């Protein structure tokens, strides 16, 4: 029996290195162009080349605003989505450990004892008798010799699924960091819009009081008075609307952070966060597409589906299972370890599939179709990533021009409002021109906030779609 145990151990070690029947994996060619799109929308001064890939840049080096950094750190500690992703990794790691353990024999210790009374008819002496049996031993139960790589293929599939969950966690973390930044910027923009609405209400209230005095003195008409009042009420409507939006933005930020957010960590206005982030270089498509965690996750799943084909193919071949044990036995508990009590058994089993009603072939077809589905999903992930980066670059190429043009428009409308107000106060123009100029200025100021928010949000999007580091 000792010789048999050694043979089993040797076979186990030798077969642990056996090749599987899975098809050789070759990384599919990326179904996208080798360069990012080019054209008028993409004309922009390129960011200074970075010393390392975007995926290797920690978020602390990209999001440089101190308040935003604290919020991101809180989110990484408390966010439930990220916690679930981390737990999925633990679960997948355990699944992989289970599959890897199947490659080695499982040795169990056992101890048995039984007392049985035999009736008179069952004994040779014709008298009832009591039979005692005791045994202690070690055994290998149902160990499969992986001659055709079935168990190893399943282990490789479990490994790739484990690696895929790690990439999924990275994707969740990058998305979480980007979402915190986006919510932070949106809150800053809405707070600035609210402040602008309050300042506009104060100015319009002063203008309304002046117009009312002029009306009571008989200088202005009732039309001027009610036109001034419409501006006051419109500002009040915006104050109520932006007050609600700010509260909703704060709620969204608390949700993504996963805990209460202190008031001192909230941004006062968007104008104070214009340098909250650094610019990044897009690099080449191949660099981006090879480092984005969602694409790496899709490739891991493709490799796992490819390995599963090996397990399905191995099901057509014989399976050899070993069952063995060695120990001592006696009809007396005190005699278990006396000379002559050694007992052993060795029971190999070979199972050869002869007729399965097409089940094995169907399982192989399922495995091959699953591999093809995983391939299509991998290619779609690459195409989606390419489109996301191209869209972000298209906005990046024009957003600075938009902000500059909006700033010029705001300055021009401010001057127009100043001149129209002066002409009205001197009695040259009607209040309608003042009202139109004021509305144009207010709209231009709001659009300038929107343009600045778009520029900062574009940087966040670029960081995300380029696979920013964790």
- Distance, in Å, from the CA atom of 296 to the CA atom of 166, rounded to the nearest integer, reads 10
Find out whether 430 and 224 touch, Cβ atoms under 8 Å.
yes
Find out whether 306 and 22 touch, Cβ atoms under 8 Å.
yes
Q: What is the model's pTM?
A: 0.80
Residues 49, 54, 56, 60, CA torsion sign: positive
- Helical segments of 123-221, H only: 150-216
- Distance, in Å, from the CA atom of 470 to the CA atom of 461, rounded to the nearest integer, reads 15
Largest CA distance in the chain: 138
What single-letter DSSP state applies at residue 337? T
What string of pLDDT tens digits covers the 470 residues of the chain? 444 444 444 444 444 445 678 888 888 888 888 888 888 888 644 444 455 667 778 888 888 888 999 999 999 998 888 888 888 888 888 888 887 887 778 778 878 878 887 787 777 777 777 877 777 777 777 777 778 888 888 888 889 989 999 999 999 999 999 999 999 999 999 999 999 999 988 888 887 787 787 777 777 778 777 777 888 888 899 999 999 999 999 999 999 999 899 999 999 888 877 777 777 777 777 677 778 899 999 999 999 999 989 989 888 888 888 788 887 777 776 667 777 777 787 878 888 888 888 888 998 999 999 999 999 999 999 999 999 999 999 998 889 899 999 999 999 999 998 998 888 778 777 777 877 888 899 999 999 999 999 999 999 998 889 888 76
Residue 41 has what pLDDT? 83
SS3 433: helix
φ and ψ of 135, to 5 deg:
-150, 150
Q: Of all helices (H) and strands (E), which one includes residue 342?
A: strand 342-346
Find out whether 367 and 311 touch, Cβ atoms under 8 Å.
yes
SS3 content of the chain, % helix, strand, coil (to 5): 65, 10, 25
């Amino acid at each position: 029996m000792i010789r048999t145990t050694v043979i089993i151990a040797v076979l186990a070690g030798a077969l642990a290195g056996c090749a599987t029947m899975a098809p050789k994996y070759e990384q599919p060619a990326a179904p996208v162009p080798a360069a990012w799109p080019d054209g008028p929308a993409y004309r922009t001064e390129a960011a200074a080349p970075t010393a390392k890939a975007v995926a290797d840049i920690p978020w602390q080096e990209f999001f440089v605003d101190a308040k935003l950094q604290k919020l991101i750190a809180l989110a990484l500690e408390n966010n439930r989505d990220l916690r679930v992703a981390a737990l999925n990794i633990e679960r997948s790691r355990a699944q992989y450990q289970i599959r890897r353990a199947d490659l080695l024999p499982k040795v169990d210790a056992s101890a048995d004892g039984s007392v049985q009374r035999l009736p008179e008819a069952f004994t040779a002496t014709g008298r009832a008798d009591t039979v005692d049996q005791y045994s202690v031993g070690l055994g290998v139960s149902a160990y499969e010799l992986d001659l055709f790589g079935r168990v190893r293929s399943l282990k490789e599939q479990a490994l790739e699924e484990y690696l895929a969950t790690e990439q999924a966690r990275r994707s969740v973390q990058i998305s979480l960091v980007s979402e915190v930044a986006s919510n932070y910027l949106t809150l800053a923009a809405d707070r600035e819009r609210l402040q602008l609405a309050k300042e506009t209400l104060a100015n319009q209230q002063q203008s309304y009081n002046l117009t009312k005095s002029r009306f009571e003195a008989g200088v202005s008409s009732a039309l001027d008075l009610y036109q001034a009042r419409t501006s006051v009420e419109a500002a009040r409507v915006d104050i109520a609307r932006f007050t609600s939006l700010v509260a909703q933005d704060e709620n969204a930020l608390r949700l993504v952070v996963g805990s209460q957010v202190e008031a001192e960590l909230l941004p006062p206005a968007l104008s104070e966060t214009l340098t909250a982030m650094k610019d990044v270089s897009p690099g080449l498509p191949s660099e981006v597409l090879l480092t984005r965690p969602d694409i790496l996750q899709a490739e891991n799943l493709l490799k796992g589906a490819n390995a599963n084909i090996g397990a399905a193919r191995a099901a057509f071949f014989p399976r050899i299972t070993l069952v063995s044990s060695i120990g001592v036995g006696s009809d007396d508990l005190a005699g278990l370890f006396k000379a002559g009590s050694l007992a052993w058994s060795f029971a190999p089993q070979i199972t050869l599939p002869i007729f399965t009603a097409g089940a094995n072939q169907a399982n192989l077809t399922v495995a091959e179709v699953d591999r093809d589905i995983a391939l299509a999903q991998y290619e779609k992930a690459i195409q989606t990533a390419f489109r996301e980066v191209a869209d972000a670059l298209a906005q990046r190429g024009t957003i600075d021009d938009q902000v500059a043009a909006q700033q010029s428009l705001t300055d021009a409308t401010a001057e127009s409002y100043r001149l129209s107000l002066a002409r009205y106060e001197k009695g040259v123009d009607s209040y309608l021109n003042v009202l139109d100029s004021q509305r144009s200025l207010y709209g231009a100021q709001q659009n300038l906030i929107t343009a600045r928010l778009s520029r900062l949000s574009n940087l966040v999007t670029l960081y995300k779609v380029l696979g920013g580091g964790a």
